A = this chain, B = another copy of it.
Amino acid sequence: MAESEKISDKRQALLQATLELVSNHGFHNTPMAKIAKIAGVSAGTIYLYFDNKQDLIDSLYLEMKASFTDAAFKDYNPDKSVKEGFAQIWKNMAAYKMNHVQEALFLAQCDNAPMISDKVREKGLQHLQPLLNLWERGRHEGILRDVSPYLLYAYTIYPISFFAAVKNRDEFDLSKDMYQHTFDMAWNAIKAI
């Protein structure tokens, strides 16, 4: 037990160090040596847990995506109305990203730069299915605009990344009590007229 915990610890420390460094300084400007140092392990140790730098980044990406989608569907009940269900998911996502700005920045970086292969990117999307199902139902019920999920995503989920970025720069903080207000904007964008 202590064994496997320790092993897990080192892997986790490496992922954490990578998250910190990459989100603050970018993929370039994040040498393996620095990652090892921050993680408190030797440079060679990285290669006990990851094949190479790309694999480290990919692994972190998938872990972050999983962590995000886990949070997204917390307390989500598919039996409730489309609006209620979507509000739950959206607020979960917004809360997660505002409370985990570093993770949000890392994911935004991966999603907007050619750092991650398409294959890994697709794998990262697999946990989003419940939201796609909800949207499908919403379109079917005439609650949502009858448009591509890409449009629904662009006007509701994608903007959250922007909130994280500006919060990080101390420019604008989507404080907690504004979630409802901001959710309304998202909802107005996609609801059927």
Contact = CB atoms under 8 A, between A and B. Distances in A.
Interface of A: 24-29, 105, 108-109, 111-115, 118, 145, 147-148, 150-151, 153-155, 158-159, 161-163, 165-166, 169, 171-172, 181-182, 185-186, 188-191, 193
Given A171-B150, A190-B185, A113 B114 contact: no
B147 A155 contact: no
A166 to B, nearest CB: 6
Contact of A162 (B27, B154, B171, B182): B154
Contacts of A24: 114
Copies in the complex: 4
Given A26-B113, A150-B163, 20 more contacts: A24-B114, A26-B115, A28-B28, A105-B112, A109-B112, A111-B165, A112-B112, A112-B161, A145-B185, A147-B185, A148-B172, A150-B162, A153-B162, A155-B155, A155-B159, A155-B189, A158-B162, A188-B191, A188-B193, A189-B189
Contact of A172 (B150, B161, B165): B150
A83 to B, nearest CB: 15
A166 B185 contact: no
A63 B45 CA distance: 36
A30 B26 CA distance: 14
Contacts of A111: 112, 165
Contacts of A25: 114
A116 to B, nearest CB: 10
Contacts of A182: 151
